[in-house]
Amino acid sequence: MDGMTVGSPTPRIDGIAKVTGWAKFTGDLEFSGLLEAKILRSPLPHAVVKSIDASKAAGLPGVVALLTRDDLKDIDPYYGNCLRDRAVVAIDRVRFVGEPVAVVAAENALIAEAALSLINVQYTELPCVADIDAARAEGAPLVHEQRSGTGEFHDVAGVGERFGGNVCHREQFIKGNPDKAFPEAEEIIDETFEFPMIYQYAMEPHTAVARVTADGITLWSSSAHPFLVRAELAHMFGYPHAKVEVIVPFVGGAYGSKSYFKIEPLVVAMARKTAGRPVRVAQSVPESMLTTRRHSARVRIKTGVKRDGTLVAREAEVILDTGAYADNGPRVAKRAISRMIGPYTLDHCKVDVVALYTNTVPAGSMRSIGGPQTIWALESHMDTIAERCGFDPLEFRLRRLLRRGAVLKPGATPVDADLCAGTKAAVKPLDWAGAAKPNGKGAGVAVGVSDSEAMPVSVALVRLLADGSVILSAGTTEVGQGARTILCQIAAQELALPVELVIMGGTDTLATPFDRSTGASRSTTVMGSAVKAAALDLRKQLLAAAAEAFQTSTNAITLKDGAAIAGDKRLSYGKIVSAYFGMPGGEIIGRGSIRPGDGMGAQFPLFWETGMGGAEVRVDSETGEIAIEKYITVADVGKAINPPLAEGQDEGAAVQGLGHTLFESLVYENGQPLNANLIDYRVPRFGDLPKHFESALIENEDGPGPYGAKGMGESGIVSVAPAVGNAIARATGVRIRALPLTPERVWRLLRARQQADNVL
């Protein structure tokens, strides 16, 4: 081995298992006596549950057990990471179409499905709070009349306060004195932008299997947060953590949809009633679309400027639709603050963010929480300012972007990236000069800077076995991002052995050490640091054992290719372990952990996740159709542990960004979802890719993670919509402020502009 494991294009360690079909996902697992469960969901957006009669369903041959609100009286039936406001199944009322009301477990899925039609639920319909306007209206019905208790994992100040009306959470930030500064502005630009509801679409819908016995709870789940699920189940059902085992097999994508708790409490509650038999809930895509989504948003942004382009002051209001339950709404609201301040020189700023309850599917996490909504608005707004002041939008940004070491938000980590270099890289392949006049072709750029605020708590174990192979135990969930490969590369690098000798399996909370979660782009940075620390601990012990075997000092020993070398003597790691224990067995264990203050976490965010996008588009003025001819995505990653995986992450994020930019939108009418299926709700396909599509990685080795790595994988999604929107504005002279940019929407605005010009 030449010491280049880190930074090399190491093949994915799970690649063969996945492409051959050997990899088993939760829905593939086989269990003796397995029962299939189906969920009866509310057809109404807001109603009191008057009565539930499940007697006919219980009498259907093959039905083993049913779950209703009457089965939750001996537990705490409410859960939630920010607010415990969501019940396992509806107790007093339903608050969105699709909310679970009852569950049937049967010998097979067909019987369970048939039994659902035999359950008679009587409702008294209540007024529907259909959207954010209805939620804010004077005298609006309350989605929640009582405030719920706070969750165990919220880490957001103010969660659980009574804000009044349908406000779930509110955040406010003030820097300087905007009220005093605005009169000094020579121009004031005031715009409002809309961002739609988006479904996270992972190829594997939510699936979980639970077994409850006298020994405790065992859960198999496609969860990105298994340790948080363990803690929540222990709280709800009254078990110690040691009696709640959460096992994560292969996971078929997540993008935030499998963060925290989704169907896991329901499956465990159902399994309590089946006398130890395992119960599986395998949702369809339409069911998962009625389980979680991204927040829709309305963003009003007002900026005062000098005519020379100086930003004087800004006020912004972000209204988030968090749906029927809080889920991750308070944290999304918190994270929206930094994005609305923006990575530009600005002394006076005020940002208000409010997350509102509505009678729609709860909104949770999705790639870069709060980022696409706010950066769509801010970066579109920056182009409007540049146009008003007579500046080229690229030149305008390069003059105003914060430099490395500048402070974006008081008290936060200083900017740790060269934003100008990344912005230049995003436009370099574009015909920027040729797209300066509206002629149907345009180029646009956007800068995305977001704070992950990843909690730095992770623990790792590295075990060197007697044959020289290594078992890496780390609680990071492999959701397709390549985390297992990256972490194995880090361990192999520090132990100077081929990466093929490092084995890492899935998470089992009874055997795998704790990790806070998989999300917020934290796995390489935080868990990677814990793995590196564990490998270094093992390396130290290995050198001591080798020195004992060689009867020399540790300074005289070199580790290479899975062997220790001292002069002309050479021993494989396996031989060293055998010599240390005096038999062909035993193992040496390295331990590593990261906690706030251990070299990271003194300030937040741990790193600024930075991504720029450059787009070149052509707009058909007759049809409104948009052709994205070029798109360049740029990510400042610090250090790419595995460049192809990093590029794949950034490109994948950009493709998801194309979805909400061009056509994705979950549509509701009076609380009823109109397109909650993959026929009417379209996600990106290969044919939607830009003709020229590339990614660029910036590696300055300036991150807090191993070898200078920073988190990445979320930044690629945030700049797509504003870059494309800015390109359309330059191509047509028309600024579009609502997503998605469908041909009809573009065509209508083009016609409106044409009619206005004709009047003039």
Residues 169-176, mean pLDDT to the nearest whole number: 96
Using one digit for the tens of pLDDT, what is the confidence trace for 297-333? Answer: 999 999 999 999 999 999 999 999 999 999 999 999 9
Instruction: Check residues 30 and 520 and name the one with the higher pLDDT.
Output: 30
How much is the pLDDT for 684?
94
Distance CA 55, CA 102 (A): 12
Given the DSSP bridges, would you call strands 47-53 and 120-125 parallel, antiparallel or unpaired? antiparallel
Distance CA 187, CA 190 (A): 10
Triad 433, 438, 444: Cα angle to 5°:
55
Q: In what order do the strands lie in the sheet with 120-125?
A: 93-94, 47-53, 120-125
**Is the pLDDT confidence value at 436 over 70?**
no
Residues 748-757, mean pLDDT to the nearest whole number: 85
Distance CA 457, CA 502 (A): 23
Distance CA 693, CA 202 (A): 22
Cα dihedral 157, 161, 163, 167, rounded to 10, equals 80
How much is the pLDDT for 150?
84
Could you tell me the sign of the dihedral formed by the alpha carbons of 575, 581, 584, 590, in that order? negative
Q: Which of 20, 432, 33 is nearest to 213 (CA)?
A: 33
Q: How many CB atoms lie within 10 A of CB 713?
A: 26
How much is the pLDDT for 727?
96
For residue 581, with 0-12 CB atoms within 10 Å meaning exposed, 13-18 middle and 19 or more buried, which class applies?
Answer: middle
Distance CA 476, CA 488 (A): 12
Token pair for 625: 């159709």
Polymer length in residues for the chain: 760
Distance CA 304, CA 312 (A): 5
Residues 2-19, mean pLDDT to the nearest whole number: 85
Distance CA 749, CA 747 (A): 5
1: confidence class by pLDDT, cuts 50, 70, 90: very low
How much is the pLDDT for 599?
67
Token pair for 409: 């938000």
Domains with residue ranges and CATH for the chain: 15-22+457-594 (3.30.365.10), 31-128+202-254+258-289 (3.90.1170.50), 296-453+604-759 (3.30.365.10)
601: confidence class by pLDDT, cuts 50, 70, 90: low
Triad 273, 278, 282: Cα angle to 5°:
105
Using one digit for the tens of pLDDT, what is the confidence trace for 511-534? Answer: 999 888 777 788 888 999 999 999
**Is the pLDDT confidence value at 370 over 60?**
yes
Mean pLDDT, the chain, integer: 93
Q: Which of 648, 625, 632, 647 is nearest to 719 (CA)?
A: 632
Alpha helix ranges (H) inside 562-693: 573-581, 643-662
**Is the pLDDT confidence value at 152 over 70?**
yes
- Residue 270's identity, in one-letter code, is M
**Is the pLDDT confidence value at 759 over 70?**
no
Using one digit for the tens of pLDDT, what is the confidence trace for 184-226? Answer: 999 999 999 999 999 999 999 999 999 999 999 999 999 999 9
Residues 78-84, mean pLDDT to the nearest whole number: 92
**Is the pLDDT confidence value at 728 over 70?**
yes
Work out the percent of the chain whose per-residue pLDDT is above 70. Answer: 98
Which pTM was predicted?
0.94
Residues 621-634, mean pLDDT to the nearest whole number: 94
Instruction: Check residues 151 and 546 and name the one with the higher pLDDT.
Output: 546
Residues 73-80, mean pLDDT to the nearest whole number: 94
